[in-house]
Structure 1
């Protein structure tokens, strides 16, 4: 369970989330249980991501002559990730589909037409296509607020906190949130420059 001291920031971003009710009587799954629940495609993507991270870390120690090799390997790695992510998105998903609105290393937020009970647990599949992130974790609803604006009347903003998630998946989410934040800052800077001109 995450505490306030190890909370991460979240970024606004749209993504797909699938929630499947998880009875409290089952208890929190161990990391091994979580790994065994992953589909073959998800296991494969996780393995590839871990191998990439390890290899790229070793290559960073090489001198500038290796930069072209590192860039080429990053490109190859991205191609593999794209294919695996595409295959994963085509898999039959279990649970109800929701539109995610924010994500980070501690949890996610989503929009729902129905309220969810605070304290309920869900087996959660998260797919952030633009960042090539696909993970399976266990989440708990921490907040459910009715949206009061006219365009989304009858909808709810729901916050979920990770109850069990693999360390490598937290790392992926943190990197993806930093990447999204950088893109947002770059877009803001460009729009400011255009408004000055």
Structure 2
């Protein structure tokens, strides 16, 4: 697939500058990107587990928003329980991270991610990836195709095989990160524009 066509396919998805750990494993000769059923069977159990926990948390958050103000203590208890589960899952997922395959993203979104690699990668090479965002309770396993960017050592990975629920989780994570970044920027601006003493 031509790079321009891939960029057009990735464009509908929002992307945000963010540094996250990602393991990249180039596919061996003769290895192909799997179909949806094979991908589902290949995904390691911790990735499936965190995906299900994230789905449950999203549903819980929707239900909790409908509770009245007297349920604040219940909401806090549920949030603390969720945080404990997230910490355990982060520990379990750490076992899936291989330091020899570790890279860091520059940006990410629902269509793919950009990353740095000191080792040259061929345009169009297929990779298997494990993307980790433990602070957002997101971990994604999938496949992508690499394209070199104009800057040296900068590459883009376009997703070629990814579960839709994982794409949705990345989109939600991107929006959460953007909201945090915008809030921090507004707070910095407010501090800079604060009242002056005379």
Query: Equivalent residue for 2:3?
Result: none
Whether 2:23 is the aligned partner of 1:11: answer no
Query: Equivalent residue for 2:185?
Result: 188
* Distance in 1 (alpha carbons) for counterparts of 2:182 and 2:63: 30
* Distance in 1 (alpha carbons) for counterparts of 2:95 and 2:14: 30
**One of 160, 167, 178 as aligned partner of 2:175:** 178
Q: Which runs of 5+ in 2 are unaligned?
A: 1-5
Q: Deviations over 1:3-45 (max 9, x none)?
A: 5386211111111111111257443312222222222222221
TM-score, structure 1 as length reference: 0.82
Query: Equivalent residue for 1:163?
Result: 160
* Distance in 2 (alpha carbons) for counterparts of 1:2 and 1:25: 26
Query: Could you tell which deviates more after superposition, 61-70 or 85-94?
Result: 61-70
What is the 5 A alignment of 1:129-148?
Answer: 129-147=134-152
Query: Equivalent residue for 2:54?
Result: 49
In the TM superposition, structure 1's runs of 4+ consecutive aligned residues that sit over 4 Å from their partners are 58-68
* Distance in 2 (alpha carbons) for counterparts of 1:120 and 1:64: 53
**Structure 1 residue 94, shift from structure 2 partner:** 8.2
Q: Which runs of 5+ in 1 are unaligned?
A: 148-155
Alignment root-mean-square deviation, CA: 2.6
What is the 5 A alignment of 1:79-158?
Answer: 79-91=84-96, 93=98, 96-147=101-152, 156-158=153-155
What is the 5 A alignment of 1:10-29?
Answer: 10-23=15-28, 25-29=30-34
* Distance in 2 (alpha carbons) for counterparts of 1:45 and 1:131: 10
* Distance in 1 (alpha carbons) for counterparts of 2:68 and 2:186: 33
Query: Equivalent residue for 1:36?
Result: 41
TM-score, structure 2 as length reference: 0.82
**Structure 1 residue 61, shift from structure 2 partner:** 4.8
1:116·1:144 contact (CA, 8 Å) conserved in 2? no
Query: Could you tell which deviates more after superposition, 57-66 or 23-32?
Result: 57-66
* Distance in 2 (alpha carbons) for counterparts of 1:114 and 1:192: 40
Aligned residues: 189
1:121·1:138 contact (CA, 8 Å) conserved in 2? yes
Q: Secondary structure at the match of 2:142?
A: strand
* Distance in 2 (alpha carbons) for counterparts of 1:5 and 1:134: 20
